[in-house]
Chains A and B, each alone.
Chain A
Amino acid sequence: MTEEQNRIDRRFAKLRGEGRKALVTYIVAGDGGLENTVDLMHQLVASGSDLIELGVPFSDPMAEGPVIQKGHERALEHKASLRKCLALVAEFRTKDADTPVILMGYANPIVKMGFEAFADNMREAGVDGALTVDLPAEEAGPLNDLLKARNLRNIFLLTPTTSDQRIDEITRLASGFVYYVSLKGVTGAGHLDLDSVRENLARIRRHTDLPLCVGFGIKDGASAKAVSADGDGAVVGSVLVSAVGESADGAAAKDRIGALVSEMRTALDN
């Protein structure tokens, strides 16, 4: 792949050209059964998702609220692992060459695989980027270099507590897009403050031209539309993971996440 061909960049360029906002959707790999994950990914795309964040299950998901924690626990019961996540993306790629996919997870499974092997495996499987929750800028250097060398993107979190100086440091390392965490809290929390989101997006915008997507606390089309008004997109996770968890089987999960994503897509486009 050449520099301009990373799927993430291509997708955001296309959306910008169309004046549309990105809908980024998160599910946990293996949640609802490993055999159903690729189907769920295709359903996310069919219902209007622009970018898939595939959660890599970890035994100790420190930044997650109860809903996504349970998703990780269910996925681990299905014996999901980083290795299997990569295989799932490779399988997804046999039918979808365009939709960007990033792996969102925690450092330890990557440390176990080895940073270099991880970067190689990502490229081979057709993963476009990584977001590693507990690898903040000061610890991210070695992985960042390996990803960069392979034309893969490294997505960083910015939060309401990130200082201007840090925004500057982080956005210099960041690529693909920037994930703005809308609130102080864990995933799925319920105290979204739109004024604060607006102010912070403006603050971040002074430091970077990268697309800005907003996540944490987004539950439906209305909240997705509201947070992305001043950014480039919305990230939705807990509500989808909850739907997968409540579904009796793969078909039911497909229907439920399909309906949720369609509703958000419609809200974002109107």
Chain B
Amino acid sequence: MSKPTSPVDYGAFPDAKGHFGEFGGRFVSETLISALDELQEMYQRLKNDPEFQAAFDYDLAHYVGRPSPLYLAERLTAEAGGARIWLKREDLNHTGAHKVNNTVGQALLAKHSGKSRVIAETGAGQHGVATATVAARLGLKCAVYMGAEDVKRQSPNVYRMKLLGAEVIPVESGSKTLKDAMNEAMRDWVTNVDDTFYIIGTVAGPHPYPQLVRDFNSVIGREARRQSLEQFGQLPDALVACVGGGSNAIGLFHPFLSDESVKMYGVEAGGDGLETGRHAAPLNDGVPGVLHGNRTYLMEDEDGQIIETHSVSAGLDYPGVGPEHAWLRDIGRVDYVTANDDEALAAFRTLTRTEGIIPALESSHAVAFGLKLAATMSPEQNIVVNLSGRGDKDIFTVAAIDGIEV
């Protein structure tokens, strides 16, 4: 696909069947179709319902703590030596990341559906914690599927989920990471579809998930747009966000898509480097395929088997990506780039030392590219970098790299 010649009506996507161009859709087994139809019907009705929107806005303000600040990082800007770097502080949300925007929204849907149990998949544990949190608040039973490898790597979040009353189920199949957790959550949903609501944590999965997760996270971009106009009197010149499944990125990008002057960069996990094959960058080095209910770019081998990915950040360690990103890539609206593990770790340290903000390793990928980009721009220009989460959960990983036992 090449660049469209006429303006794209971004609000018209996905279409009624959940397609973003050739991507998205609903590639699931027949048992789940009726549950997806039900969810879609309910969501279409509620998304334009003022009462539902008011309840969502109330929870975002009073439970999540929104709006999150748009913060001018002056010392980080000086470090880069170019455009001004503004940080959208999703790390200040309740539970420490953007993930809660979505779980608050989907919890409201779960409540409306009358189902008594919620399930989720999680990689690093952030979405699992955000799901366990809203389940505790609403008194819903909660089960979180987590790859057995990730359970070992992310023990603080496992304990957090348990404190919140969730059952954490280690997944021993396949590569024992996020993709396998998603398979297992789908299997649970197929089995318990009558009483269970599946809270997917990213903008992937079968329609309508990519749409509703995007809509709930779009509060990030709506706030950032308004804050930009208020705080520096114009739209930003560029937006930067990390992309695993891509929920924080689409949340920031979507409200700006029609603003042609705003450049957008999605930063994938370059792992050991694109040239090594050990990375998690399907938009840079993958091919279109079908996984987890949607058609999108994937990391796979020559037989179409999904391959293991590599990233220092568990939250980006996923072989697929949301279908809307696949489409935005192909039509050229968003540039997808990479930051390698070492670049992300350096940015983690730089932001911590210059601004007193410890970023999540996921978000550190966005910071790393933001620093590079800023250096190529002039001091009058403005970049908004999505600081999608805080790094408390990652101090053990970083300490281990430093050879320190915490």
Give the B-binding residues of A (Cβ under 8 A).
Answer: 58-66, 69, 73, 76, 81-83, 106-113, 133-136, 138-139, 156-163, 166, 170, 181, 184-186, 189
Contact = CB atoms under 8 A, between A and B. Distances in A.
B353 interface: no
Interface of B: 17, 25-35, 173-174, 179-180, 183, 186-187, 190-194, 287-293, 295, 298, 300, 302-307
Nearest to A156: B30
Contacts of B287: 112
B290 A108 contact: yes
A205 to B, nearest CB: 18
Contacts of B17: 138
Contacts of B293: 134
B193 A108 contact: no
B59 to A, nearest CB: 31
B34 A108 contact: no
A113 B26 contact: no
A59 B29 contact: no
Contacts, number: 121
B300 A107 contact: no
User: What 8 A-B pairs come out closest when comparing CB atoms?
Assistant: A112-B304, A109-B304, A81-B303, A107-B290, A185-B191, A161-B34, A59-B305, A157-B30
27 contacts: A58-B304, A59-B305, A60-B292, A60-B306, A61-B183, A62-B183, A81-B303, A107-B27, A108-B298, A108-B304, A109-B303, A109-B305, A111-B290, A134-B27, A134-B28, A134-B293, A135-B27, A138-B25, A138-B26, A157-B29, A161-B30, A161-B31, A161-B33, A166-B34, A184-B31, A184-B192, A184-B193
Contacts of B31: 63, 157, 159-161, 181, 184-185
Given A108-B298, A184-B191, A62 B306 contact: no
A184 B194 contact: yes
A66 B173 contact: yes
A161 B305 contact: no
Contact of B29 (A65, A108, A111, A133): A133
B405 to A, nearest CB: 34
A139 B26 contact: yes
A107 B298 CA distance: 13
Given A60-B183, A184-B190, A111 B26 contact: no
A73 B26 CA distance: 25
Nearest to A135: B27
Q: Among the interface residues A111, A166, A185, which one has the most CB atoms of the partner chain B within 10 A?
A: A111
Contacts of A60: 174, 179-180, 183, 291-292, 306
Given A60-B183, A138-B17, A181 B30 contact: yes
B21 to A, nearest CB: 15
Contact of A136 (B28, B35, B298, B306): B28
A265 B72 CA distance: 74
A171 to B, nearest CB: 12
A108 B300 CA distance: 9
B290 A185 contact: no
Contacts of B300: 108, 112
B318 to A, nearest CB: 12
Contacts of B289: 108, 111-112
A46 to B, nearest CB: 30
Nearest to A105: B304
Nearest to A69: B173
Contacts of B186: 62
